[in-house]
């Protein structure tokens, strides 16, 4: 079977030619207008980024190389065991090459990542063990990733002047695969820092998939947990692994403009290596309007449950939501900068819970999450501000992890960070393949904008 690198090499010439032709023949074609509202409004609607792996349709949600969430669920290879969710490794292959991998190709990428990820560099271990155990988990992740820049092949070879521009992608790919492969150990290390004084909670295995390793190192699989804190039954353990596969499989990318992807791309455009670039993306993912929203949702559901007498009391829920809105706070897990319909990733997470009614029948947080999906859009519509009153992906994810025993709320975004590495790093490889330049948009001050109004 072809390796990922070989499969990528096969598709590169065609894409390079296509970009060359676009630049040469259609370079002056207008993409769209840029308005003052867009300049002052977070660049909304401003089509000015090149992004290959995914694109976001406001009505239908994210497409991964043209495939919807549902199509990915039906077509991407899993472990071969009936009922298992597709492997994020299959998704990585799809993003990088544009094609659905065969079962063999997915299995060989799974193995390749498992081997690449078997050890963290000693200096990264050292840095992580020196961090205060109560440091924000996302800060720990960003530091851990940035420290790995010391071993970056791209940075080393660039420094030595050994490689030509059109070959940069090869070391970028190596670094990116090593970075993605290192995430189970990094994540496990951070979780053990915050919950277990840095003592391992489970073991790494080269024989299993990326998500099984993440779950083992969180101490969430039976038989691998050295501290015996795993209270899950075997079925729950398997369900948790599948939840992790589903979650990390569909959070990989959300086209280029979201904060984590955009940041990675921008920093990478200065030829910073993948470790530094993605570490910067992680810093953006840590914001409450972006990835940290999953944690905010969990806190919000728990607090609301302690403030209402019953989930069946719709009016009490509405009153609670209005109290939040009237105090000028946002309802976490609702709204989206681009989407105008319920997020299909939310629907996929919801279906995970709906397929396991007995597991969740007594979890009042999960029940409230489901109830809110009916009530909150009505309240937000009446409120009339948000352009999208529907649940986004963060509405459901954290509370499902919480159900299985991941109770450290600040940690949820680290799991998001494991997944999000795949999309932006794929794009970074493609940025190098296509030789994209440093990003440097022109900025305007107030007087500059006002002058434009006089000209028009």
Q: Which residues are catalytic?
A: 290, 336, 394
Task: State the virtual CA torsion across 332, 337, 342, 348 in degrees, nearest 10.
Answer: -80
How far is 268 from 308, CA to CA, in rounded Å? 47
Quick one: which segment of 158-166, 171-179, 227-235, 333-341 binds ligand MLT (CB under 6 A)?
A: 333-341
How far is 286 from 259, CA to CA, in rounded Å? 10
Cα of first residue to Cα of last residue in the chain, in angstroms, is: 60
What minimum distance in Å lies between the beta carbon of 371 and ligand NMX?
Answer: 17
What track of x and - describes contact with ligand NMX for positions 312 through 341 (by CB under 6 A)? -------------x----xxxxxxxx----
How far is 90 from 100, CA to CA, in rounded Å? 7
Q: Is 254 in the site for ligand MLT (CB under 6 A)?
A: yes
Q: Is 282 in the site for ligand NMX (CB under 6 A)?
A: no
Distance of alpha carbon 181 from the chain centroid: 15
Pick from 241, 293, 369, 396 the residue near ligand NMX by CB under 6 A. Answer: 293
What track of x and - describes contact with ligand MLT for positions 337 through 366 (by CB under 6 A)? xx----------------------------
Residue written as token pair 């940035």: 146
Q: Is 219 in the site for ligand NMX (CB under 6 A)?
A: no
Cβ pair 12, 28 in contact under 8 A: no
Q: Is 301 in the site for ligand NMX (CB under 6 A)?
A: no
What minimum distance in Å lies between the beta carbon of 243 and ligand NMX?
Answer: 17
Tell me whether residue 336 or residue 403 sits nearer to ligand MLT (CB atom).
Answer: 336
Tell me whether residue 77 or residue 423 sits nearer to ligand MLT (CB atom).
Answer: 423
Cβ pair 423, 95 in contact under 8 A: yes
How far is 432 from 232, CA to CA, in rounded Å? 44
Q: Is 60 in the site for ligand NMX (CB under 6 A)?
A: no
What track of x and - describes contact with ligand MLT for positions 86 through 105 (by CB under 6 A)? --------------------
If you ran DSSP here, which 8-state letter would residue 413 be given?
A: H
What minimum distance in Å lies between the beta carbon of 260 and ligand MLT?
Answer: 6
Quick one: which segment of 212-220, 236-244, 381-389, 445-453 binds ligand NMX (CB under 6 A)?
A: 381-389
Q: Is 386 in the site for ligand NMX (CB under 6 A)?
A: yes
How far is 197 from 220, CA to CA, in rounded Å? 17
Helix (H, G, I), strand (E, B) or coil at 67: strand
Cβ pair 212, 49 in contact under 8 A: no
By CB under 6 A, the residues from 382 to 411 that bind ligand MLT are 392-393
Tell me whether residue 211 or residue 337 sits nearer to ligand MLT (CB atom).
Answer: 337
Tell me whether residue 179 or residue 250 sits nearer to ligand MLT (CB atom).
Answer: 250
Q: Is 344 in the site for ligand NMX (CB under 6 A)?
A: no
Tell me whether residue 302 or residue 436 sits nearer to ligand NMX (CB atom).
Answer: 302
Pick from 291, 344, 417, 423 the residue near ligand NMX by CB under 6 A. Answer: 291
DSSP 187-240: HHHHHHHHHSTT---S---TTS-HHHHHHHHTT-STT--TT------HHHHHHH
CB atoms within 10 A of CB 91: 31
What track of x and - describes contact with ligand MLT for positions 52 through 71 (by CB under 6 A)? --------------------
What minimum distance in Å lies between the beta carbon of 29 and ligand MLT?
Answer: 26
Cβ pair 182, 17 in contact under 8 A: no
Q: Which two tokens mark 352? A: 């995970």
Tell me whether residue 208 or residue 380 sits nearer to ligand MLT (CB atom).
Answer: 380
Residue written as token pair 């078997």: 118
Pick from 46, 258, 264, 388 the residue near ligand MLT by CB under 6 A. Answer: 258
How far is 83 from 256, CA to CA, in rounded Å? 32
What minimum distance in Å lies between the beta carbon of 46 and ligand MLT?
Answer: 13
Tell me whether residue 109 or residue 393 sits nearer to ligand MLT (CB atom).
Answer: 393
Q: Which two tokens mark 283? A: 């810093």
Q: Which two tokens mark 132? A: 């205060």
- In sign, the C-alpha dihedral spanning 76, 77, 78, 84 is positive
Helix axis angle, 122-130 to 168-195, nearest 10° = 40
- Please give the residue whose beta carbon sits closest to ligand NMX in the complex: 335
What track of x and - describes contact with ligand NMX for positions 391 through 410 (by CB under 6 A)? -xxx----------------
Q: Is 262 in the site for ligand MLT (CB under 6 A)?
A: no
Cβ pair 396, 372 in contact under 8 A: no
Q: Is 277 in the site for ligand MLT (CB under 6 A)?
A: no
The H or E element containing residue 55 is strand 54-57
Could you list the residues that contact ligand MLT (CB under 6 A)? 254, 258, 336-338, 392-393
Sites of contact with ligand NMX (CB under 6 A): 289-291, 293, 325, 330-337, 385-388, 392-394
């Amino acid at each position: 079977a072809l390796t990922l690198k070989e499969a990528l090499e096969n598709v590169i010439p065609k894409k390079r030619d296509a970009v060359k032709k676009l630049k040469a023949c259609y370079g002056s074609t207008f993409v769209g207008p840029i308005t003052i509202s867009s300049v002052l409004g977070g660049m909304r609607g401003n089509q000015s980024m090149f992004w290959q792996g995914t694109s976001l349709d406001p009505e239908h949600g994210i497409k991964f190389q043209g495939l919807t969430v549902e199509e990915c669920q039906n077509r991407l290879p899993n472990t071969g065991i009936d009922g298992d969710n597709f492997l994020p490794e299959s998704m990585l292959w799809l993003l990088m090459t544009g094609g659905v991998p065969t079962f063999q190709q997915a299995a060989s990428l799974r193995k390749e990542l498992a081997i690449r990820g078997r050890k963290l560099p000693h200096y990264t271990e050292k840095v992580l063990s020196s961090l205060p155990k109560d440091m924000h988990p996302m800060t720990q992740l960003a530091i851990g990733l940035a420290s790995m820049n010391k071993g970056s092949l791209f940075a080393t070879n660039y420094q030595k002047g050994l490689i030509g521009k059109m070959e940069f992608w090869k070391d970028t790919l190596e670094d990116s695969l090593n970075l993605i492969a290192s995430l189970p150990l990094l994540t496990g290390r951070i979780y053990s820092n915050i919950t277990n004084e840095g003592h391992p909670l489970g073991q790494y295995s080269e024989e299993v998939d990326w998500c099984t390793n993440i779950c083992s190192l969180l101490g969430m699989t039976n038989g691998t947990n050295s501290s015996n804190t795993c209270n899950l039954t075997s079925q729950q353990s398997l369900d948790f692994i599948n939840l992790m596969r589903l979650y990390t499989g569909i959070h990989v990318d959300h086209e280029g403009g979201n904060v984590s992807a955009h940041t990675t791309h921008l920093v990478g455009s200065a030829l910073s290596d993948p470790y530094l670039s993605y570490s910067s993306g992680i810093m953006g993912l840590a914001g409450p309007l972006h990835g940290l929203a999953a944690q905010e949702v969990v806190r919000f559901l728990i607090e609301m449950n302690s403030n209402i007498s019953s989930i069946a009391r719709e009016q009490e829920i509405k009153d609670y939501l209005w109290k939040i809105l009237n105090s000028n706070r946002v309802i976490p897990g609702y709204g989206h900068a681009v989407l105008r319909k319920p997020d299909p990733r939310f629907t996929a997470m919801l279906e995970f819970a709906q397929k396991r009614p007995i597991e969740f029948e007594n979890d009042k947080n999960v029940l409230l999450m489901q109830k809110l999906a009916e009530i909150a859009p009505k309240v937000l519509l009446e409120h009339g501000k948000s352009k999208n009153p529907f649940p986004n992906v963060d509405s459901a994810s954290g509370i499902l992890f919480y159900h299985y025993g991941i109770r450290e709320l600040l940690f949820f975004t680290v799991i998001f960070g494991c997944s999000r590495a795949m999309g932006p790093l794929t794009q970074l490889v493609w940025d190098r393949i296509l030789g994209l330049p440093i990003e440097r948009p022109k900025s305007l001050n107030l007087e500059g904008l006002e002058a434009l109004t006089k000209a028009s």
